[in-house]
């Protein structure tokens, strides 16, 4: 059955969260297949949008990659920092800035997860992020806060 109503979308998204919390789902293809086996037919594009809306990240673990909700992958998160390092800290290579913008350079194909992670912090000085393949652009609310915000982000990810 193809799902497209609001209620069906909510049901599908609940199923997605249940899957990623209970099983080590390592790819979108596996997730599409698992959802289909439960009677939920979904395209990869729709699944991608759902994962983004749900803030589900693909994170490295000791047994390979798997999907986890952002709040589950940000171990020990505090207001803007961590009491213990998160998995996202392993994916950031550099944080640089000019007078107006901050650029977070990541491992290849990891920028979107890092961008979602930064967005999930809901930091009052961050207007938003734009993620590519290996680069996240962080847009500060005020230009006057760019340098301090760059330093906070660099410290959070353990880079200088």
> What average pLDDT does range 31-40 have in this prediction?
93
At 1, the pLDDT band (50, 70, 90 cuts) reads very low
> Rounded to two decimals, what is the model's pTM?
0.51
Same domain membership, residue 150 and residue 85: yes
Domain annotation covers residue 149: yes
Contacts of 118 (CB under 8 A, 6+ apart): 104, 126, 129, 136, 138, 153
DSSP letter (8 states) at residue 5: S
Same domain membership, residue 98 and residue 32: no
> What average pLDDT does range 145-158 have in this prediction?
90
Same domain membership, residue 79 and residue 23: no
Q: Which of 52, 71, 90 is the last residue of a domain?
A: 71
From CA 108, how far away is CA 142, in angstroms rounded? 29
Same domain membership, residue 82 and residue 50: no
Q: Which of 19, 37, 71 is the last residue of a domain?
A: 71
62-118 pLDDT per residue, tens: 777 888 877 655 433 333 343 334 567 788 999 999 999 999 999 998 898 888 888
Instruction: For 67, list phi and psi in degrees, rounded to 5.
Output: -90, 140
The tally of domains found in the chain comes to 2
The CATH code of the domain that includes 22 is 1.10.10.10
| The residue to which tokens 């500060």 are assigned | 140
> What average pLDDT does range 22-41 have in this prediction?
91
The CATH code of the domain that includes 152 is 3.30.1360.40
Same domain membership, residue 79 and residue 67: no
Say what the pLDDT of residue 71 is: 63
**Sign of the torsion formed by the C-alpha atoms of 58, 133, 83 and 100:** negative
- What is the domain extent for residue 87? 75-157
From CA 18, how far away is CA 20, in angstroms rounded? 6
Same domain membership, residue 143 and residue 128: yes
Angle at 42 between CA 41 and CA 48, to 5 degrees: 160
Say what the pLDDT of residue 78 is: 36
> What average pLDDT does range 124-153 have in this prediction?
94
Counting every residue, how long is the chain?
Answer: 160
Same domain membership, residue 86 and residue 136: yes
């Amino acid at each position: 059955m193809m799902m497209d109503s609001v209620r069906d979308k909510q049901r599908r998204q609940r199923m997605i969260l249940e899957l990623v919390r209970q099983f080590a789902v390592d790819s979108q293809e596996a997730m599409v297949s698992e959802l289909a086996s439960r009677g939920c037919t979904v395209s990869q594009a729709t699944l991608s949008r759902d994962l983004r809306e749900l803030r589900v990240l693909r994170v490295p673990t000791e047994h390979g990659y798997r999907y986890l909700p952002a709040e589950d992958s940000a171990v020990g998160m505090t207001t803007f920092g961590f009491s213990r390092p998160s998995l996202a800290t392993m994916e950031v290579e550099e944080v640089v800035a000019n007078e107006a913008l901050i650029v977070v350079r990541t491992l290849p194909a990891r920028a979107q997860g890092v961008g979602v992670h930064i967005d999930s912090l809901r930091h009052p000085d961050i207007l938003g992020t734009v993620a590519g393949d290996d680069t996240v652009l962080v847009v500060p609310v005020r230009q006057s806060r760019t340098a301090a915000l760059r330093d906070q982000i660099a410290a959070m990810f353990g880079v200088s």
